[in-house]
Amino acid sequence: MSSDDDFCPLCLHRGPEIWKFPNDPREYMFCKTCYLVFTSKNTHPDQQTARNRYLHHLADAGSPGHINHLMKAIKPVEKMLNDQIHVLDYGCGPKPVLADLLYTLGCNCQNYDPIFYPADLSVNTYDVIFCIETAEHFSDPYQEFSEMQKVLNPEGLVILMTGLYKDKLQFSNWFYKRDFTHLSFFHQRTMTYISQKMNWQLLYEDGTSITVFKKSFCK
């Protein structure tokens, strides 16, 4: 563990517990405060390596299976979507299928991705932010959630979709950690921490991957 890994990148508490597993070259840090599991910064890929990996997902983008996957994130908030609200896809990837799908539902969506769709987010604010299969790629999750907080309107929604681990035993053999671009791993208790830290109300949880937050009116 390097000195950079001594602080949790979400709650900033010190002294994470080190997790190592057989036949896994990466080292993981478990935060005993917010339950985030994060990888050593020494193993994080550079932007070009990560970009090449993300491009491999293009083959499935827009497939029926991918559409059904996206609909799982849309369904909990579908009744709230209309042509009057401002929507952001935070981490849309190389092919922003979500925006096309939301358009068929009568809703316009702005795309943002630091690699494929870079943009100055500060020029707009949003009523709904989708963050689908993106948070696991966060090197600095506190900074990323803070960015969402800045551009989210009062009483706005954040729909976060990322696989949730159950415990250390399940994590040890979890397929989700095999992708070297997955850097941060979340637990249900992590979602509770995010809710409290950002002053976001927990509206919906499916217990496996989808969490919906609502921003407080006063923050």
What number of other Cβ atoms are within 10 A of residue 148's Cβ? 21
**Overall size of the chain counted in residues:** 219
> Would the pLDDT of 3 be above 80?
no
Tens digits of residue pLDDT in 154-201 = 999 999 999 999 999 999 999 999 999 999 999 999 999 999 999 999
Averaged pLDDT, 93-119:
93
Residue with the larger pLDDT of the pair 88 and 59: 88
pLDDT of residue 121: 92
pLDDT of 59 reads 58
Q: Would the pLDDT of 29 be above 70?
A: yes
User: How would you classify the pairing of strands 87-90 and 126-132?
Assistant: parallel
Percent of the chain with pLDDT over 70: 97
Q: How confident is the model at residue 136 (pLDDT cuts 50, 70, 90)?
A: very high
**CA angle at 190 for the pair 92 and 102, rounded to the nearest 5°:** 25
Give 123's DSSP letter.
G
What value, to the nearest 5°, has the Cα angle with vertex 210 and ends 66 and 213? 130
The per-residue pLDDT for 1 is 56
Helix, strand, or coil (residue 141): helix
Hey, what are 24's tokens? 């896994």
**Mean per-residue pLDDT, 88-104:** 93
The strand ranges marked E within the chain are 17-19, 28-30, 37-39, 87-90, 109-112, 126-132, 152-161, 184-185, 200-205, 210-215
Q: Residue 17's beta-bridge partner residues?
A: 30
Indicate the pairing of strand 37-39 with strand 184-185.
antiparallel
DSSP H helices in the chain: 47-55, 64-74, 97-104, 141-151, 168-172, 188-198
Mean predicted lDDT score pLDDT of the chain: 93
And the tokens for 106?
């009568």
Average pLDDT on 123-128 reads 96
Residue 176, CA atoms < 13 Å, CB-side half-sphere:
24
At residue 65 the predicted structure's pLDDT band, cuts being 50, 70 and 90, is confident
